[in-house]
């Protein structure tokens, strides 16, 4: 079975619910599993994804909205500092925002 390349990896981050300007970030089980699996190959993945989580906790909405799914889903890219393949070689974090 071929290894999953970082350029095709989507990481469903979880759900961010907002209260005033501070948000609570909850992680899905799929996110936890994929983060653990990818951290074996990419040692700095947690450092790469942390700025996105910081933005979510601050109440910001980084990334582009995914249209046509019926929910407030967003996709944001994170660089992969372990494999320097440009922006397209990074991670994709998909998250849902509850208001």
User: Mean of the pLDDT values across residues 56-61?
Assistant: 89
pLDDT category at 99 given cuts 50, 70, 90 is: low
Q: In the structure, what pLDDT confidence band is assigned to residue 70 with cuts at 50, 70 and 90?
A: confident
For position 59, what pLDDT does the model report?
A: 86
pLDDT in tens, 5-57: 222 234 555 555 544 457 888 888 999 999 999 999 999 999 999 999 999 98
Q: Any long-range contacts for 71-78 (C-beta under 8 Å, 24+ apart)?
A: 71/96, 72/96, 72/97, 72/98, 72/99, 75/10, 76/52, 78/48, 78/49, 78/51, 78/52
Task: Return the closest-CA partner of residue 56 out of 93, 9, 11, 82.
Answer: 93
């Amino acid at each position: 079975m071929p290894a999953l390349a970082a350029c095709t990896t989507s990481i469903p981050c979880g759900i961010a619910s907002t209260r005033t300007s501070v948000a609570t970030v909850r992680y899905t089980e799929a996110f936890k599993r994929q983060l653990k699996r990818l951290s074996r190959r990419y040692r700095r993945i947690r450092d790469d994804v942390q700025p996105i989580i910081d933005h979510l906790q601050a109440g910001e909405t980084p990334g582009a909205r995914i249209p046509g799914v019926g929910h407030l889903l967003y996709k944001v890219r994170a660089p992969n500092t372990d494999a320097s393949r440009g922006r397209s070689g990074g991670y994709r974090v998909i998250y849902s925002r509850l208001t």
